[in-house]
Structure formats: C-alpha cells, structure tokens
Amino acid sequence: MQNAKLKNYLHLHILVFIAGFTAILGELITIGSIPLVWYRMLMAGLLMFLYIKFKKVKLKIDKRTMLKFLAAGVIVSLHWITFFEAIKQSNISIALAMFSTGAFFASFIEPFLYKRRIVWYEIILGVIVVLGVFLITHGELRYINGIILGVVSALLSSLFAVINGTFIRKYSATVISFYEFVSGVAFLTLFILLFKGGFDIKFFTLSASDWVFLFLLASVCTAYAFIGVVKVMKFISPYTVVLSYNLEPVYGIALALLLFPETETMEPQFYYGACLVLLSVMMDAVLKNVNSYRARKRKTH
C-alpha cells in the first residue's frame, strides 16, 4: 500500500514536470499560436478517441451537457492561444509567472459560480498577487504585451478549471476532454476560415522538428497528462494534487533558465514578484485545506 502511494506521488510530480515542459515546447515550436493550438487539440482529440475506443468508454451525453462541454472547449482553446502567444511576445518565465495568477482569479470566480462568499484571506492573497504582478511589470516593462496576454490566459484558465470542476462530479474526465478538444478544433477551424483567409499549403507545411514537438505536446503533455491526473486523483487527495500543480511555474522557469539562459535571465524585480505570486498560491492551497479540515471536524462532532 505504501509503495503504491509512493508510486502515485512520483507519477504526480512527473505530470507536474510535464505541465512545466509545455511552455518549453511552446518556445521550440516555430508556428503561430493559433495553428499551434489547432494542431494540439486535433492531435490530442484523435489520440483521446483511440483511447476511448480501446477502453470502450461510452461517449453518449445529453444535448445540454454537450453544449456545456463545447463552451468549455472554446474557453480552453482561447486560454492556450493566449498562453503560447504570451511566450512568443515575451518569454517562458513571464508567461509562467503570469499563469500563476490563476489562483487569484479562481478565488473570485469560484464564489460567483458556486454562490459562496469570498473569505478574508482570499482578498489578502489577492493583494499580494497584484503586488507581485506590479513588481514583475515594473521590472520587465519591455514585455508588457506578454504580461497582458499571460494575465488573460490565467483568467481563462481559472474560468475553465472552475467550470470543469462542476463537470468532473458527474462525467468521465476522458469524455469531457474529448468533447472539449473537438469543440476547440471546430471553433478554431471556423475562426481560421472566417478571419485568417482559410487554410493554405503553408499552414500544413511544417518542419520535421515542429511535427515532433507538436506530437510531444499533443500526446505526452495533453492526452496522457489529462488521463494521468485523473488516475492519480483516485489515490491522492485533490488538495495534494492542486498544491503539487502549483509547482508547475517553478519547474517551467527552472527548465527555461537551464535551456535558454540568454533569453530567460530576468531582472531581480521579476524574481521578487514571481516569488510573491507563487507564495500566495501556495498559501491559498494550505489555508483552503485547513478550512476544509476544520469543516469536516465540526461535522463529526
């Protein structure tokens, strides 16, 4: 039993490392953010479909649920586009530091959607996040476009996570993900046809390295990661999973500094600001766990 738990903890941190590596692939892939996300969702959707067929998972859902999944797919596609565009407009460190602000947005989106009150510590931690972002922005003003896109990406990511949290209670994560990928591809295809002049030979002419990196992104960082985290959550508490995933920017920034030192080394203010943002994210997870534990204890007495 102890070995099984240790194995799942190790698997969880591999998944977090993979999540951090997503940003590295975004830097290495040379095509624009819209085609990048189109290829990612198409390839991941096809791989997920093969997995569904292999596992004989039922895809049938009602129309109302289908529309909800499709809307979530549009949101996640926009999140990924803004995230990868933030990398291209600035660098990996900026995009990941801004992505960390997602917990700040979630602390306000969640009470609104679940109709619960905002707790005091969420406001305080929110102020710390704003201060961290201010330090990053002040120190790296030349990356303002990437900073704005990164914050928008974090907002969309939080909205997607909170909405997905309502789906996961009733439906298989594999089925949810599959419909979201299909929706994202359909939405982006329509967008490309209407606003980007449609598909041409150039769109499908990619370098060998881009094909390899896109396949890694779609298979390991998307399809496998989506299935893997659901498997892990059967053995490890959601709190531990959330807390561990807060390390994604740390892993990503460390990898970026190792692989691209000439473009990823930042001013000291960036690291002060990033530390403040990450500290607030970790504190938020810890305080939520403490409150959850107290609530469970009160129910047992």
Question: SS3 for 169?
Answer: coil
Predicted confidence at residue 150, as pLDDT, reads 95
Q: How far apart are CA 192 and CA 182, in angstroms?
A: 15
pTM over 0.85: yes
pLDDT tens column, 54-88: 999 999 899 999 999 999 999 999 999 999 999 99
Helix axes 63-89, 144-167, angle to 10 degrees: 160
110-115 average pLDDT score: 78
198-209 average pLDDT score: 95
* Paired tokens of 110: 């969640």
pLDDT tens column, 94-105: 999 998 888 778
Long-range contacts of 159-165 (CB under 8 A, 24+ apart): 159/75, 159/105, 159/109, 160/72, 160/75, 160/76, 160/79, 161/102, 161/106, 162/106, 162/109, 162/110, 162/113, 162/114, 163/68, 163/71, 163/72, 163/75, 163/113, 164/72
pLDDT tens column, 125-170: 888 888 888 888 887 888 999 999 999 999 999 899 888 878 877 8
